Structure 1
């Protein structure tokens, strides 16, 4: 019994060391920068969950051409200036409006079983002051790489239409069917990190935790 406990302790110790190294190790080393820094993109940290916040329209892309603004929220407005995109376990996101309402069974399934996913889209008329955000500057081409990554995250029907599940917890958000399965091997923060990698933005080797994504977030261009 004592040997079994010792072996378990060794396994936990090595796993903890491995994950800590992954948390602290960036994918990119040294000095680097975008070819041209023209577009600001923001990552928000919800505590355990990260989201990507983009302007509705800039010189590179107009989101209203892909996702009708009036259909995002119950308020049916086209006045949104920013959109946030978050990907995650469908059951968990639809059933958990706050961290205080987490269902342990749903959380267990989300972590240890491959489960269906969803994309949550939320619109903002003004900049969301209540969110912890961090800015990165991107070139136009790298911004489009993130745009295409987000677009490809939506599940489409045979006619190419996005599949809306329901409105969200506010008057300005909705949930959509998404591509890919959620699990501990690919979490909401891994999705954010994958998007950032498409845009040549630095991310950690182990991106499961939101704090790791925020810690390494760097495009080589300074946001003013």
Structure 2
């Protein structure tokens, strides 16, 4: 009897999560004509926010914010940078294309330490099924940038704490992050929260990358809003 109840509760929980995917937040969001282009990018499991390395209208420079001489020298000619938040064990257990072991998978369901994955792009991400471009206003971009910056764990000087000099490729690395990862707070929830708190269309609940992409695609298909008139 208890096992049957447990299975029913689990199915109800999954249905609740999936329903959250279909319920939009900020449903009135419209892209900004001539706005700042950002991207929502996924590898099918995980999702990232990809932003311009330098954004002059908002005076945002991610190389300055990262404040690491080696990073500045290495990536000064790159145009975009991606940010993704997630479970430390999963990230570090994925080196060499490996899938994290059962232990890391089970521990990820409980509150556990997190990292911010920083991935540089020489050019804008190539458009495809798992890449959604959005044009956002200066205000929305500032909010999105603030969300990302508040997600890393700063040192005593306010700089992000670099964990590794290289990640999965020569173009990425990890920094210490704030917050705990658990079954109700996944990497895709983080991406979704960044969109939602910045006024962009997002899902009510986004445990999966498909949840994030679904609402981002809906936002991208809507015609841009009108420019303000004097």
Matched, 1:15 2:13: yes
Native 8 Å contact 1:69 1:77 kept in 2 = no
Q: How far apart in 1 are the matches of 2:50 and 2:176?
A: 19
Native 8 Å contact 2:33 2:224 kept in 1 = no
Q: How far apart in 1 are the matches of 2:30 and 2:177?
A: 32
Q: 2:93 — aligned with what?
A: 95
Q: 1:169 — aligned with what?
A: 168
Q: How far apart in 2 are the matches of 1:91 and 1:172?
A: 20
Relative distance call for 1:98 and 1:21 in structure 2 (3 A) is: farther
Q: How far apart in 1 are the matches of 2:44 and 2:197?
A: 24
Q: Which runs of 5+ in 2 are unaligned?
A: 226-230
SS at match of 1:135: strand
Q: Which runs of 5+ in 1 are unaligned?
A: none
Per mean C-alpha deviation after superposition, the further-off stretch among 157-166 and 3-12 is 3-12
Matched, 1:211 2:210: yes
TM-score (norm 1): 0.86
Native 8 Å contact 1:72 1:121 kept in 2 = no
TM-score (norm 2): 0.84
Q: How far apart in 2 are the matches of 1:102 and 1:63?
A: 30
Q: How far apart in 1 are the matches of 2:156 and 2:3?
A: 54
| C-alpha RMSD of the superposition | 2.6
Relative distance call for 1:90 and 1:10 in structure 2 (3 A) is: closer
Relative distance call for 1:87 and 1:10 in structure 2 (3 A) is: closer
> Residue 210 of structure 1: CA displacement?
0.7
**Aligned residue pairs, count:** 218
> Residue 121 of structure 1: CA displacement?
0.6
Q: How far apart in 2 are the matches of 1:222 and 1:97?
A: 40
1:53 to 50, 55, 64: 50
Relative distance call for 1:83 and 1:32 in structure 2 (3 A) is: closer
Q: 2:228 — aligned with what?
A: none
